[in-house]
Amino acid sequence: MSSDSSPTTGAAPEDLAAKECLFCEMTRQHQPQCVRRLPKRIILVRHGESQGNLDMSAYTTTPDYRIPLTPLGVDQARAAGRAILDVVSSCSGAGGGGGGANWKVYFYVSPYERTRATLREIGAAFPRHRVIGAREECRVREQDFGNFQVEERMRAIKETRELFGRFFFRFPEGESAADVFDRVASFLESLWRDIDMGRLEQDASCETNLVIVSHGLTSRVFLMKWFKWTVDQFEHLNNFDNCEFRIMQLGPAGEYSLLVHHTKEELQRWGLSPEMIADQQWRASANRGSWADECSSFLSTFFDHWNDDEEDNDGNENGNTNKLLE
């Protein structure tokens, strides 16, 4: 709301801010004058190549959380840091959202050795004054596959998982993707509280970028939870490559979308269906109709057919009844 269109009822600025915050709370959309400043981007990064990616037998003698990066993984992490720096710096200012040269980053990282090592190399690309802070977050750790993993046994278990379904299959002494979903949902509640409490130092003159250094499945579950994808849609998603990152960016209407930064072709390669891509397009658009009009094909996920004929008949019967009463 511009200053020349502000109400003249004498309402205090904090009262107006509270109303705008209430709007944000109900819609999860950003209002320019609101005290809640949403991060410009949420960037999900998978760790670099680990010793376990290279040789599954590493899990037999080394706990999963202690698996290190390979030399290639270190190089991948350094390259990812430079690429992320390029995104958050060159996309600012004109055509990038209005933050200009004033941008900062805040990092969340899984406690595993390979993710922390990835973060160290990514962070080396950034000047210190650009980094607000970093936090270890256990809820974005890797899916738990059990303790020490015997290679041949794990191969057999993963074959069973393919038959059972990736989302609900629970590893013996470990987790299912559904379990990961629950802790990611809890993390998102904490993330919103961090935003609400201003812990990310967001202000009107600065673009804040969140970078979450995590794991392939955990990152896919994060996207599933955020965008409300179904289990079946999750099952068709392709994993992140090592140090691949995907950018959720605020669109002009205040919704996060993968299509602000990425292309439809990229989303197709990642396994998003036409309905999911249409939803991302709607989120990225400034001049959009209602979600029900533009993304109504999403309903086919749940319904096979409609009983519209019966509704028409009911309308006719009511009309005939009304005529008889006249």
Q: How many CB atoms lie within 10 A of CB 321?
A: 9
Tell me, yes or no, if 113 is annotated catalytic: no
- Contacts of 192 by beta carbon, 8 Å cutoff, 6+ apart: none
Residue 110 near residue 214 (C-beta atoms within 8 A): yes
Tell me, yes or no, if 121 is annotated catalytic: no
- Select which of 20, 113, 137, 142 is catalytic: 142
| Residue 11 identity (one-letter amino acid) | A
Q: Which pair of structure tokens corresponds to residue 268?
A: 């197709």
State how far the Cα of 252 lies from the Cα of 246, in Å rounded to an integer: 19
State how far the Cα of 181 lies from the Cα of 221, in Å rounded to an integer: 6
Q: How many CB atoms lie within 10 A of CB 97?
A: 18
- Select which of 30, 47, 215, 262 is catalytic: 47
Helix and strand tally (H, E) in the chain? 13, 6
Catalytic residue numbers read 47, 142
